[in-house]
Amino acid sequence: MKFFTPIYLVSILWSCEKALPQKTTPEQPKMESEVSVSSENWNQLGEWGDEEIGEENLFGNFHSDRVSFHIVEDPNIGLHGGKVQEMTLYFIDDLLCRKKYDLNKNISSALISQYGNFKFKKLRIETDSLSQTQILLRSDSGFFINPLIGNYQLKWIKDTTLYFFRHEQDSLLESNVFIEESQQYQELYTRVEQSFH
């Protein structure tokens, strides 16, 4: 694909803007390149560091090369106070439709602060009793999800973009995933799939 010749990037954002500097604390180290998220022009590639998105990041092409996935390991960017460990870019017909960030820590409080009201979804049955009454707690620094709830998803809809944060935790492992997705992503993907059946 012509689109995937190496593109030099300095940051990858919905708005392709850098965030305002954040106060650093021992629990929130400053990233080398902190990014902000906005729904304007979210499907455009911006710049971040000296990384390249090219054939070396290509995970695979599907449906006669209409759908492709690129994975960037350790892109050296921060997102809402967390470090991005892996970034997956989803393209449909050469249009960036979805970005998935695997993060080193739970950023739900920062997302709640930025995006406000959200939809909550429990991911495991053991959170039934907690998720009905004690989802959101408040401290001097703002709102946060009850730490006793270990597995949940938060969802925001802003303009034409869906934002998801998924936190899963058991006794040994913790997974934190933030997704930015065009509201048309599922529809576009379904159309591509149906064109091959």
Q: Average of pLDDT values for 151-162?
A: 94
Local confidence band at 55 (pLDDT 50, 70, 90 cut-offs): low
Report the share of the chain in percent with pLDDT over 70.
62
If we measure between CA atoms, which residue out of 37, 92, 28 comes closest to residue 65? Answer: 92
Residues 6+ apart with CB under 8 A from 70: 4, 53, 57, 58, 59, 88, 89, 91
CA distances from 91 to 2, 42, 153, 186, 193 (A): 13, 13, 24, 12, 14
Kindly report the three-state secondary structure assignment for every residue of the chain: CHHHCCEECCCCCCCCCECCCCCCECCECCCCCEECCCCCCCCCCCCCCCCEECHHHEEEEECCCCEEEEEEECCCCEECCEEEEEEEEEEECCEEEEEEEEECCCCHHHHHHHHCCCEEEECCHHHHHHHCCCCEEEECCEEEECCCCCCEEEEEEECCEEEEEEEEECCCCEEEEEEEEECCHHHHHHHHHHCCC
Report the share of the chain in percent with pLDDT over 90.
38
Q: Is pLDDT at 182 greater than 80 in this prediction?
A: yes
Local confidence band at 44 (pLDDT 50, 70, 90 cut-offs): very low
pLDDT, greater one: 167 or 94: 167
Local confidence band at 161 (pLDDT 50, 70, 90 cut-offs): very high
Quote the pLDDT of residue 176: 98
CA-CA distance, 67 to 48, in Å (whole number)? 23
Q: Is pLDDT at 164 greater than 90 in this prediction?
A: yes
Q: Average of pLDDT values for 126-136?
A: 67
